[in-house]
Amino acid sequence: MLFNLAMKNLIGAGMRTWLNVFVTAISFFMIIFISGMYDGMRSHAKQVTIDTEVAGGAYWHPEYDPLDPFSYEDAHGIPPKEINDLINNKNAFSILVSQASIYPNGRMMPVVIKGIEPEQSIINLPTQSLLKEADGLIPVLIGSGMANYTKLKVGDAFAIRWLDANRTYDADEGVIVYIMETENFKVDMGTIWIPLEQAQTMLDMKNEATYVTFSKNISKVQGKGNWIYRDVDYLMRDMEAMIEADEPNARIMYAILLSLAGMGIFNSQILSIFRRRKEIGTLMAMGMTRSRVVGLFTLEGGMNAFFSLIMVLVLGGPVFIYFALYGIPLPIDYNEMGLIMAKKLIPVYTMGLFISTTLFISFVVLVLSYMPSRRIAKMKPTDALRGKVT
């Protein structure tokens, strides 16, 4: 009975109902849209990191600490046999890391040299470009961020100075053979990539590596010596920490949007009770109990939210699908700010996101519809009939 009456009241109110529904639907749309954006950003950042840096995991030289550049001097050695077997079977590749300074356009800049096997295909970096002829100079691959920062272009030569295994400074000239577009600032800013063999020669560290990155689906080797096994979870922990640190922002945004939707519903309920107090009195005079009148108004609020969700699915669904397929172009390059973010953000809308958002919003809406409706329970029918709210 209440359902039929609530339905009649909502449909009968015509444009007023649909305006309320539309405004609530916009808030719901934004909640799902923003949540999808956040999920998309996180998923993209994780995927890019795995794709261009982490792969299936790594074995680190025991002295290697990526956050302590001074550890690089000692963090090199010949990988144990079983790890070398992975390398020989093309299931892994070595990276040799060293501190260095470069002098682009006469200015000094500290960098990290990373020697990498040019023919590796385990991570998605254009390392094959390092096979290009460099006229006897050191072929160097850098990211576009680094290129912008140093004003280096393909073909530009510059001096590189490094400290070799014998703690002796040496220098030579490098040439930019390729500038890669990458969304992972960690393989871009402050890093120059050179061929592994050249790095080993320059640093006098023949056959040595700082760490070995292996393919996905490769299980941990037994004979890893004193090299340290680092799985994907460990290597992604900085990323996870960043995402976790960003969680409150996402929650604040979610809360703001939910509050906006909630305030809209709360406001329309209060207005509805105020405007319809004579109707409330009439319903009571006709024998409707107070609890049923409260139920009727709560149900109307709940159905308002339900219609909003339907509207979001019908009108917002194609928009969600379009963005999920074609992405949202971002106006600025966030990589320059040290964020791993695509130039075109693809939001991720999962069934879980829809269900959890729908359930949570429905619960909030029911509570928010009920709260103002409780005032009805305190109304005296005689006051309500006179249009007075007590």
Give the residues lining the site for other proteins (CB under 8 A): 1, 4-5, 8-9, 11-14, 278-279, 281-282, 284-290, 380-382, 385
Question: What's the closest the beta carbon of residue 20 comes to other proteins, in angstroms?
Answer: 14
Q: Which is nearer to other proteins, 14 or 352 (CB)?
A: 14
Question: What's the closest the beta carbon of residue 264 comes to other proteins, in angstroms?
Answer: 21
Question: What's the closest the beta carbon of residue 386 comes to other proteins, in angstroms?
Answer: 9
Q: State the residue for tokens 């994780």.
A: 46
Distances (CA, A) of 252 to 108, 225, 248, 320, 364: 43, 47, 6, 22, 16
Round to whole Å and give the CA distance between 292 and 279: 13
Within a 10 A sphere around the Cβ of 195, how many other Cβ atoms?
A: 22
Question: What's the closest the beta carbon of residue 293 comes to other proteins, in angstroms?
Answer: 10
Interhelix angle 290-311/237-275, nearest 10 degrees: 130
User: How many residues can be counted in the chain?
Assistant: 390
Q: Which is nearer to other proteins, 161 or 292 (CB)?
A: 292
Question: What's the closest the beta carbon of residue 383 comes to other proteins, in angstroms?
Answer: 10
- 311: number of CA atoms within 13 Å, CB side? 20
Question: What's the closest the beta carbon of residue 10 comes to other proteins, in angstroms?
Answer: 9
Provide CB contacts within 8 A for 278, sequence distance 6+. 384, 385, 387
DSSP 53: I
What residue type is 233 in one-letter code? D
Round to whole Å and give the CA distance between 139 and 157: 9
Q: State the residue for tokens 């390092």.
A: 130
Q: Which is nearer to other proteins, 208 or 300 (CB)?
A: 300
Round to whole Å and give the CA distance between 28 and 35: 11
Q: Which is nearer to other proteins, 189 or 288 (CB)?
A: 288
Q: Which is nearer to other proteins, 66 or 387 (CB)?
A: 387
Q: Which is nearer to other proteins, 139 or 281 (CB)?
A: 281
